[in-house]
Amino acid sequence: MKVAVIGGGYAGLAAAVELAHAGIPVTVYESAKTLGGRARRVEYRGEILDNGQHLLLGAYRELLRLMRLVGAPDAALLCTPLKLHVPGQFRLAAPRLPAPLHLIVALLTAQGLTNGERLAAARFMLALKLRRFRLDKDISVTELLGLYGQTPSLRRFLWEPLVCAALNTPPEIASAQVFLNVLRDSFDRRRTDSDMLIPRVDASTLFPESAARFIENRGGALHRATPVRRIAVSNGGFAVSTANQTRHFNHVICAVPPQRIAALTADLAELADARAMLDKFTYQPIYSLYLRYPEHVALPSPLLGLSGGHAQWVFDLGQLGRGKGLLCVVISAAGAHEKLARDDLAQQVHQELQQAFGKLPPPLWVEIIAEKRATFACTPGLQRPPQVTPLPGLLLAGDYTAGDYPATLEGAVRSGIAAAQAILGTS
């Protein structure tokens, strides 16, 4: 069996690892020099950055399983119980109690809320549990929060930051059902599912590079900086063409971003429905602002929330072993920040950090990485193409394909595993 995986991001590498583990050598094509796709290492001024800073959860079981399988670095993640802290405004910390009791206690003891708001948040979670986190009809998160009496403070400090972080979609247009899927898996099963896992290494080191070694050690091959230009049906299989050669495979897993599917499968009439679905997609940005301060600058915690400005989350990479004085501010989803010039945005974020943490020296440099179409907009009732296509032997993988999860690393990995298992089921 000859299998090609087109795309060396988390979805494609998850599929390749699953197949390699089953004894099937895989050929992986990646258009960039660096593995990871939309979660990859970036170098700037001698620093190792990421094209987007990620936060994992204990509920990311498939990604964590594959990381263990391929021998990802043992110290790659800083594990801490759920803690949401907006300095001077809000604080929530989950105790070490069984789920979902740990969340109920966390809500009832949260600082920055009134007693009535604490009870309203706890009642909301209990009501969702009674519904088994299922809605009769998908609606927006904003509508859902209104139905359950969640106040402006609850929305601002608790629910809306979680929605933007998980779905990368503004709450007023974000799918409530997908959000409930995330809440269910994170808070209603094991206590450790809600643990925050903060990467201590760059996104390429976290999983992709170990995955590549695992694949190659089992007879597979990885071709970096090798974009695939065309997939065609040929002799009962598929011809995969790059700039330099065409090779034939029994199966192909197409794990490229959704924006590339149309061009790559243009000759495949069987994928017309998938292309029509993807043509209706809209996309949301993620901005990562890296601010290099003098080495003595440090925050009270490795990860903190911010509210009232552009910045939503700030990572102190110095506390993660990635360079003292280096902060990363993340802004998820569309917003007013997109209209600002880069220097103006950097200055405003610096001022927001000073308002939250006190006087800071001017940053030595700022690098802004703007992924304008980082994820699909996860809207109510959005139809997403399945991994198995009408063309036997051709599979799709990516966080945009059908599944319970939004565009997260776990969603990408799950899609890759599903594509690989579809091939293994036919072998």
**Is the per-residue pLDDT at 213 higher than 90?**
yes
CA distance 168 to 211: 26
Q: Counting beta carbons within 10 angstroms of the beta carbon of residue 131, is it exposed (0 to 12), middle (13 to 18) or buried (19 or more)?
A: exposed
Q: How far is CA 220 from CA 71, 79, 130, 147, 213, in A?
A: 17, 32, 47, 52, 9
In single-letter form, the type of residue at position 89 comes to: Q
Q: For 3-42+59-74+203-281+384-424, which CATH class?
A: alpha beta
**Is the per-residue pLDDT at 114 higher than 70?**
yes
Mean pLDDT of 68-75: 92
Mean pLDDT of 239-263: 96
Q: What is the pLDDT of residues 308-322, one digit of tens each?
A: 999 999 999 999 999
CATH of 82-194, one of 1.10.3110, 1.20.120, 1.20.1290, 1.20.1250: 1.10.3110
Cα dihedral 199→200→202→204 (10° resolution): -70
Mean pLDDT of 261-269: 94
Q: Alpha helix locations (H) across 193-302?
A: 203-206, 208-217, 258-264, 272-279
**Is the per-residue pLDDT at 386 higher than 90?**
yes
Backbone angles phi, psi at 378, to 5 degrees: -85, 85
Per-domain residue ranges of the chain: 3-42+59-74+203-281+384-424, 82-194, 283-376
CA distance 306 to 85: 8
Cβ 143 vs Cβ 161: under 8 Å:
no
Average pLDDT, the chain: 96
Give strand pairing partners of 40: none
Q: How confident is the model at residue 254 (pLDDT cuts 50, 70, 90)?
A: very high
Query: Any idea which residue has 């990311």 for tokens?
Result: 60
**Is the per-residue pLDDT at 220 higher than 70?**
yes
Q: What is the pLDDT of residues 339-353, one digit of tens each?
A: 999 999 999 999 999
What are 187's two structure tokens? 């808070």
Mean pLDDT of 83-109: 94
In single-letter form, the type of residue at position 3 comes to: V
Sign for the pseudo-dihedral over CA of 198, 204, 205, 211: positive
CA distance 156 to 307: 8
E strands along 94-151, which residues? none
**Is the per-residue pLDDT at 426 higher than 80?**
no
Element containing residue 202 per DSSP (H, E): none
Percent of the chain residues topping a pLDDT of 90? 96
Q: What is the pLDDT of residues 55-71, one digit of tens each?
A: 999 999 999 999 999 99
CA distance 44 to 392: 43
Q: What is the pLDDT of residues 356-371, one digit of tens each?
A: 999 999 999 999 999 9
CA distance 317 to 299: 10
What are 356's two structure tokens? 């939250």
Cβ 399 vs Cβ 412: under 8 Å:
yes
pLDDT at 74: 79
pTM of the model: 0.96
Q: For 283-376, which CATH class?
A: alpha beta
In single-letter form, the type of residue at position 242 comes to: T
Q: How confident is the model at residue 427 (pLDDT cuts 50, 70, 90)?
A: low
pLDDT at 130: 96
Mean pLDDT of 41-59: 94
Q: Is 35 helix (H, G, I), strand (E, B) or coil?
A: coil
Percent of the chain residues topping a pLDDT of 70? 100
Cβ 265 vs Cβ 251: under 8 Å:
no
Give strand pairing partners of 44: 47
Query: Any idea which residue has 């070490």 for tokens?
Result: 96
Q: What is the pLDDT of residues 282-301, one digit of tens each?
A: 999 999 999 999 999 999 99
